[in-house]
Chain A
Amino acid sequence: MAPRAEPVTRWPGGLAVALVLTLLLGPVLAVLLRAEGTGALGPGDWAAIRFTLVQAILSAGLSVLLAIPVARALTRRRFPGRALLITLLGAPFILPVIVAILGLLAVFGRSGVLSTVLGWVGLPPVQIYGLHGVVLAHVFFNLPLATRLILQGWQAIPAERLRLAASLGFAPGTTFRVLEWPMLRAVVPGAALVIFVICLSSFAVALTLGGGPRATTVELAIYQAFRFDFDLGKAARLALVQLALAGGAALIALRVAVPAAFGAGLDRRIDRFDPPSRRLWAQDVVSLIAVSLFLLGPLAVIVIEGVGQLPALPDSVWRAAGHSIRVALGSTALCLALAVPLAALGVWGGGVATLSIALSPLVLGTGAFLILQPVANPVALALPVTAVVNALMGLPFAVRALQPELAAVRADYGRLSRALGLQGVAWWRWVGVPRLARPLGFAAGLVAALSMGDLGVIALFADPDRATLPLQMYRLMGSYQQGAAAGAALLLLALSLGLFWIFDQGGRRYAAA
């Protein structure tokens, strides 16, 4: 038997699979064991399930509905700053949720910009807390994602079809019916489903803008069972519910062809031949201005309000920032250490990495608490547990960024590597890392930024001494220290985007050198 001497050694992949499965399924098992025999669901639990579904459906529906005119305008119009706007549409992915919420409060809150303007004309201030606030925040995060997905669909319409439509003199309505509507029917359900799945596991948004019996998601209910009732059985029962909800929805989403969420090539030029129409032009301009204001307004307010606060930030904020940086770097290292061997395993590894999409952070956190409690003080381990959970949550994205590139490198240089006997560590040094520097940098940046901004498990475990920056910011907001909160938000924003930028640029530089 000739040895199939692959340049990429296989055993690290096996080890990574074993580790990921243990880290994901261990907590699930703990939850299952604990949830057994703790009684049926109460009326409050059912209310949480209902609210979770309703807000996710509304958020997904509104996001894609509003995204359609924006994507259409971006397809049809060329203007300075268009590429920048498309890049910005990718930014909410790495934007800390709590920062965006503070921005949304500053614009749409009781004493926000909008209410002030309404006050000038004698109208009462708007209310942001409750269902509509939760949906507003979800649309803020997912409208850009939906726009990018639908834009891809629009750009996939071959230019030849549009040329034919122009030569036949199609009116805008006819072009829509013949070309655009079939595309939307193919793309929109997948996009809506992705957003629905994301919103099912909403925690930080519900924590800050929801709450109360009428606006509690299942994730939030797990947290409340933990923090307020300290009823671990109830938390486990709710975790089981969340597992069924998110897992079921993720399974459905995987079966429906879901379009790729991010990727290059969004700026391909397609010449369109639409007849000049003043009405269409006005529609597009309004869509683009509205979406830019909606996305940039809250962030602009954060920057403006935060800058002056930076010098006066309390020590607790700086300490929390130090914790957050350590957590982010730790989870980035762990995530890449797992993602690289998983990506090398091909489809199999990708499948294992995707598992964590079905598991929400608070389910994992509940399970981890149940496992750790008998043997250690879970609170003392708050930061390491957060880092591990963040690494697992970033895994699908990291593997997805690495896998196609790794496959290409092996196809191009596998034979040459084998002919030269390059394998294992030497292969990674001379071939793997240099050829994959770009996706490695991108993946590292993504995971670092996600981890930096995460407000999830840490809220379950933390005590006053072990806050991360997002949690510390949430505490400042809760104690009405709006100034310090704005300063902390700006710091968090800068750290998240900065970490992403450093890793991403580092990868690019290294690849170019």
Chain B
Amino acid sequence: MLQLDRLRIVQGDFTLTADLQVPGGVCVAVMGASGDGKSTLLAAIAGFLEPATGRVVWDGEDITGRAPAKRPIAMLFQDQNLFPHLTVQQNLMLVLRQRGRATEAERARVAEALAHVGLTGLEARKPGALSGGQQSRVAVARVLLQDKPLWLLDEPFAALGPALKQEMLDLVAREAADRGATVLMVSHDPADAARIAPLCLLVAEGAVTGPEDTRSVLADPPPALRRYLGG
């Protein structure tokens, strides 16, 4: 369970507050207009931003002061999810070991993760030699290898076409469900949320609220969200 305990994030004259709990093992959409602070919220949970006050708590443990890599969190960014000069194998292996030679067992784990995302045998390629969809799959494979209970998705598939994006979201939802991971997913598109996220958080006017049932929110959006969705 993720708990945001009276969290207050300040960036210049922008303030965002959150005081809520997200149950474990579900997929949660983070919705709101652009510039309202969805990415800021994720950055604070992941440890890239220091909150002014309040705590980030995972399963009863305060993780507010920890470095990003020491948190129970795997994150996919909007871009730059892979190092372009390293092969797929090297990119993935960084999760398992950063010095010394890889063991046979570690190679097998990398191959297994690649098999999960449907990229068997592409270990030796560099990201530049992969399509956009394949690059996204490598990034998802890395999330699988990181083996963390909380996944943060900051619109990593925004640059893909609609069909490919749905495919990737389905892949993430399936793998997360298999592993019992909690997913927090920033989304511009209510269709994405409806597709894989039963719950949603709303970011509007400097506050994060929720979680609420995605379907009922989309059926009868609150005023701030209505203005954003239009109609």
Contacts and interface: CB of A to CB of B under 8 A. Distances in A.
A416 B83 contact: yes
Nearest to A411: B80
Nearest to B43: A415
Contacts of B68: 5, 418-419, 421
A95 interface: no
Chain B interface residue number, banded: 20 to 34
A2 to B, nearest CB: 4
B86 to A, nearest CB: 7
B69 interface: yes
A421 B69 contact: yes
Interface string B56-76: 000000001111111000110
B46 A434 contact: no
A3 interface: yes
Contact of A2 (B64, B85, B94, B95): B64
B179 to A, nearest CB: 19
B67 A413 contact: no
Interface string A1-21: 111110000000000000000
Determine chain A's interface SS by DSSP, over half rule.
helix
Contacts of A1: 50, 65
B55 to A, nearest CB: 11
Q: Is the interface of B mostly helix, strand, loop or mixed?
A: loop
16 contacts: A2-B65, A5-B67, A415-B48, A415-B80, A416-B80, A416-B81, A416-B83, A418-B68, A419-B46, A420-B94, A421-B70, A422-B98, A429-B99, A430-B90, A431-B83, A434-B85
B127 interface: no
A429 B86 CA distance: 11
A229 interface: no
Interface in B89-117: 90, 94-95, 98-99
Given A420-B94, A420-B95, A434-B86, A3 B65 contact: yes
Given A4-B50, A413-B83, 7 more contacts: A419-B74, A421-B67, A421-B98, A422-B98, A429-B98, A430-B98, A434-B85
A429 B66 CA distance: 24
Interface in A409-466: 412-413, 415-416, 418-422, 425-426, 429-431, 434-435
B90 A412 contact: no
Nearest to B146: A420
Contacts of A4: 50
B75 A419 contact: yes
A431 B86 CA distance: 9
Contacts of A412: 80
A226 to B, nearest CB: 50
Nearest to B48: A415
A418 B85 contact: no
A3 B69 CA distance: 11
Contacts of B47: 2, 418
Nearest to B86: A430
Contacts of A415: 48, 77, 80
A490 to B, nearest CB: 39
A425 B100 CA distance: 12
Contacts of B90: 430
Contacts of B75: 419
Contacts of B70: 421
B104 to A, nearest CB: 21
Nearest to A425: B99
Contacts of B80: 412-413, 415-416
A191 B50 CA distance: 45
B94 A418 contact: no
A420 B81 contact: no
Contacts of B48: 415, 418
A408 to B, nearest CB: 12
Contacts of A431: 83
